[in-house]
Amino acid sequence: MPKKNNLNPKSVKNKTANQRKEPKIKAVPEPKKEKKSNESAKFKYALLRGMHDVLPREQKYWQPMLAQAQRLAEDFQFKKIDTPIMEEVSLFIRSIGKGTDIIDKEMYIFEDKEKYSSKICLRPEMTASVVRAYIQHGLWNQPQPVKLWYSGPMFRHDRPQAGRFRQFNQIGFETLGDGDPATDAELILIAYNFFHELGLPVEIHINSIGNLEEREKYIVALVEYYRAKRSYLCDDCRKRINKNPLRLLDCKQSQCRPIKEESPQIIDWLSTESRSHFMKVLEYLDELEIPYTLRHSLVRGLDYYSRTVFEIYPTADLGDQAPDSGVQLSKQDALGGGGRYDLLAEQMGGRPTMAGGFSLGLERAAFYYKACCEKEITKLPKREIHAFLAQLGDQAKRRSLKIINQLRASGLVIDFNLTKNSLKGQLDIANSLHVPYALILGQKEVQDSTIIIRDMESGVQEIVDQKKLSTVMLKKVQINVDQTKKK
């Protein structure tokens, strides 16, 4: 048996600091005892900690999400961008910022064999890569805004725990070259639609963290407030006062909660301009009837944000979550997040470029999707199978793949099973799939270039010319669709 991954967080604590800081991509150590008797006992590889496989049985939750992202991208005219998984470390240090968890603790950094002048890393997110590509390929020369979307794996050497992986997948949407509040609203609408249209209840948490100057003034007030309460704070928060004061607002420790609740609110430090921008975004959300909560402690864990920041949270009551899903999700786990990053392009050496975007975590979204399906809060979209093709005899078997391919090319969805030779066995499958029609191809039909169409509900059969099959089937399927609509 493959060795199971130990996801117990306590085992992480037992590692030395060195082991934690310098991850190496390697197979897990051999299991101590090897059974000699059977083949599988020789198998000694298992997943790396914090990594996971998406097995075929889970793909049914992933495929609709990827299709949904693609559809939203087309509807809102976002163009796909792919960037490399490896980038220079400095790209992320510059954009995400020192003092953040991602940069200080979670980067997969290593030296390239070619002895690059700077170190390389596995990307922890893609916004910085998209901005790099925007500057490097002169996308600022194109009509603005430039709207880009992506999907792919990200890497963070985080402590593996519920809903947190070391390799995880995101889809993201970024709009570069536009500072209008309508852009913020459009991005939030896409993020909301992604879940809402799959039948998944979500809510947006939103805040404005102002521009750099406003934030600096606010941080002075925040530090002053927290310094006075220092003795009541948890150890982490005491460190945060000097190291990264905004992260004080992320603390979930019960001893810090009342202090956080009374803390100064950034909204009071916003200029008239920033405040008006934020109010306009909220007006759009009201108009769009998107449910949102104003959360003054929402500051996000990356340094590049300014003004609007938001996160997406699940709101369905899942009760006891599915035990076999491999991922757990709590209501505190964001399904996605984003915001404006108006200064990032300039900080990275490009022209001043107003921009905003968001990313969704697909593992968390897939878990939520699955849990909501199990609770019958939503259903997976069904791909209708139009017919099942059953073949009888060697010649029919040989011809059937060609016919299936022709029907498929005309837009029909045909199921079949070429390993079954008995007609009864094949019609049993057709019955269990609840297909409206079976197409039956025997020796005689191959010789006559015909095929039998059997209506599975009435049992009525008709013989048609193979050349006319696509046309006849398309008509029948259309009739079916129309009748369903009337009902």
Binding site for ligand HAM (CB under 6 A): 125, 127, 156, 158, 163-165, 168, 170, 172, 174, 334-339, 341, 357-359, 361, 363-364
- Which is closer to ligand HAM, CB of 188 or CB of 396? 188
Three-point CA angle 475, 480, 484, nearest 5°:
150
Closest separation between CB of residue 172 and ligand HAM, Å? 5
**How far apart are the two ends of the chain, measured CA to CA in Å?**
52
Closest separation between CB of residue 154 and ligand HAM, Å? 7
Closest separation between CB of residue 339 and ligand HAM, Å? 6
- Which is closer to ligand HAM, CB of 333 or CB of 445? 333
User: Residues forming the annotated binding site for L-histidine?
Assistant: 125-127, 156, 170, 174, 300, 304-305
CA 19 vs. chain centroid, Å, equals 29
- Which is closer to ligand HAM, CB of 248 or CB of 344? 344
Compute the distance between CA of residue 203 and CA of residue 206 in angstroms, rounded to an integer: 10
Compute the distance between CA of residue 4 and CA of residue 155 in angstroms, rounded to an integer: 21
Amino acid at the residue 117: S
- Token digits of residue 456: 């599975």
- Which is closer to ligand HAM, CB of 358 or CB of 388? 358
Compute the distance between CA of residue 309 and CA of residue 212 in angstroms, rounded to an integer: 14
Closest separation between CB of residue 361 and ligand HAM, Å? 2
- Which is closer to ligand HAM, CB of 278 or CB of 358? 358
Closest separation between CB of residue 442 and ligand HAM, Å? 53
Grouping H, G, I as helix, E, B as strand and the rest as coil, residue 235 is helix
Compute the distance between CA of residue 186 and CA of residue 96 in angstroms, rounded to an integer: 24
Closest separation between CB of residue 214 and ligand HAM, Å? 19
Compute the distance between CA of residue 346 and CA of residue 355 in angstroms, rounded to an integer: 11
Q: How far is CA 172 from CA 8, 127, 147, 175, in A?
A: 30, 8, 11, 10
> What does 163-217 look like in DSSP terms, one character per residue?
TB-SEEEEEEEEEES---HHHHHHHHHHHHHHHHTTT--EEEEEEE---HHHHHH
Compute the distance between CA of residue 333 and CA of residue 321 in angstroms, rounded to an integer: 14
Closest separation between CB of residue 92 and ligand HAM, Å? 10
DSSP 301: S
- Which is closer to ligand HAM, CB of 328 or CB of 406? 328
Residue 437: its H or E element: strand 437-441
- Which is closer to ligand HAM, CB of 12 or CB of 427? 12
Residue 96 main-chain phi, psi, to 5 deg: -80, -35
Closest separation between CB of residue 74 and ligand HAM, Å? 20
- Token digits of residue 284: 């759009």
The residue of the chain with the least Cβ separation from ligand HAM equals 361
- Which is closer to ligand HAM, CB of 269 or CB of 358? 358
Closest separation between CB of residue 257 and ligand HAM, Å? 22
β partners of residue 339: 309, 357
For helices 212-228 and 235-243, the axis angle rounded to 10 degrees is: 140
- Which is closer to ligand HAM, CB of 245 or CB of 357? 357
User: Residues forming the annotated binding site?
Assistant: 125-127, 156, 170, 174, 300, 304-305
- Token digits of residue 136: 């490097």
